[in-house]
């Protein structure tokens, strides 16, 4: 019997839809099993979707590839969802009829010392306490020395999130790129780095080195880790896991984008 879990934003509408989803899926012969799900239904917004991916990653990192995520938005249109809460019937019918496509999205991975973490939107190295110096290497080649608050590396899907607030370019869906954007870089006669966001091929390996990451953190979407004693950080697309999403109704990318502003 196929198993499912439901992760909902803690608000009244999302919680109500969660109970309805559980009841309808059980009625259709699926087993509610939050520990070993084949399907993860996500009810909320893009932020809830990211939370759901991280909670499955935390529980069963090796099994992320076996889970299909399916989202319904209880706000405006999102990038991780194709339905609004008012379209619940269509959302459920599409799933039960199997008339959907599965799209795979890459995860970013950061590695330092013995640690590995993943992100679906972006990985940030930031220091709000002092000026952070970072030597940036692209595929092993020294590119620049950055000074400022930090650097953000995002996926195509994450380009509309934090990256956009930093002045990064939005990357259209279907393009296999990552993007590196500065967070409050210092640019004057003594210090200079690229300043503009740079879009890189999806298989690029970035390395950030610094004489000191004291007081700096690594942000992986909403998760944060201290890196005081770390000397080198490598960021690339994860080769061992990705996120598989059920995509039902076709929604124009530009309609999603328009709903952002």
**Where along the sequence are the contacts to ligand NAP (CB under 6 A)?**
45-48, 50, 75, 78-79, 121-122, 157-158, 160-162, 165, 221-222
Is 218 in contact with 225 (CB distance < 8 Å)?
yes
With respect to ligand NAP, which residue has the nearer C-beta, 11 or 135?
11
Nearest of 20, 39, 26 to residue 89 by alpha carbon: 20
With respect to ligand NAP, which residue has the nearer C-beta, 23 or 222?
222
Nearest of 200, 138, 207 to residue 168 by alpha carbon: 200
Computed over its alpha carbons, how large is the radius of gyration of the chain? Answer: 20
Min separation Cβ 256 and ligand NAP, Å: 9
Min separation Cβ 141 and ligand NAP, Å: 28
With respect to ligand NAP, which residue has the nearer C-beta, 96 or 241?
241
How many angstroms separate the CA atoms of 119 and 112, rounded?
Answer: 15
How many angstroms separate the CA atoms of 124 and 197, rounded?
Answer: 14
Is 227 in contact with 233 (CB distance < 8 Å)?
yes
Check 11, 46, 203, 215 and give the catalytic one.
46
With respect to ligand NAP, which residue has the nearer C-beta, 73 or 236?
73
As beta bridge partners, residue 83 has 72
To the query of whether residue 35 is one of the catalytic residues in this protein, the response is no
Min separation Cβ 192 and ligand NAP, Å: 25
Min separation Cβ 31 and ligand NAP, Å: 28
Query: What residues act catalytically?
Result: 46
């Amino acid at each position: 019997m196929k198993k499912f879990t439901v992760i909902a934003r803690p608000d009244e509408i999302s919680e109500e839809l969660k109970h309805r989803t559980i009841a309808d899926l059980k009625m259709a012969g699926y087993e509610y099993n939050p520990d070993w799900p084949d399907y993860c239904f996500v009810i909320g917004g893009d932020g809830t979707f990211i939370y759901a991916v991280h909670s499955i990653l935390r529980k069963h990192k090796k099994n992320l590839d076996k889970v299909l995520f399916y989202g319904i938005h209880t706000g405006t249109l999102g990038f991780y969802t194709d339905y609004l809460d008012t379209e619940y019937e269509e959302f459920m019918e599409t799933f039960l009829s199997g008339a959907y496509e599965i799209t795979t999205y890459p995860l970013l991975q950061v590695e330092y010392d013995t640690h590995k973490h993943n992100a679906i939107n972006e990985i940030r190295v930031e220091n709000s306490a002092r000026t952070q110096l970072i030597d940036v290497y692209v595929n092993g080649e020294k590119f620049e020395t950055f000074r400022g608050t930090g650097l953000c590396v995002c996926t195509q899907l994450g380009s509309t999130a934090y990256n956009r607030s930093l002045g990064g370019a939005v990357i259209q869906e279907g393009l296999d790129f990552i993007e590196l954007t500065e967070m409050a870089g210092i640019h004057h006669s003594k210090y200079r780095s690229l300043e503009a966001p740079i879009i890189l091929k999806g298989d690029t390996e970035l390395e950030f080195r610094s004489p000191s990451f004291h007081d700096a953190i690594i942000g992986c979407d909403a998760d944060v880790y201290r890196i005081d004693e770390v000397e080198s950080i490598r960021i690339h697309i994860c080769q061992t896991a990705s996120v598989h999403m059920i995509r039902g109704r076709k929604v124009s990318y530009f309609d999603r984008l328009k709903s952002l502003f």
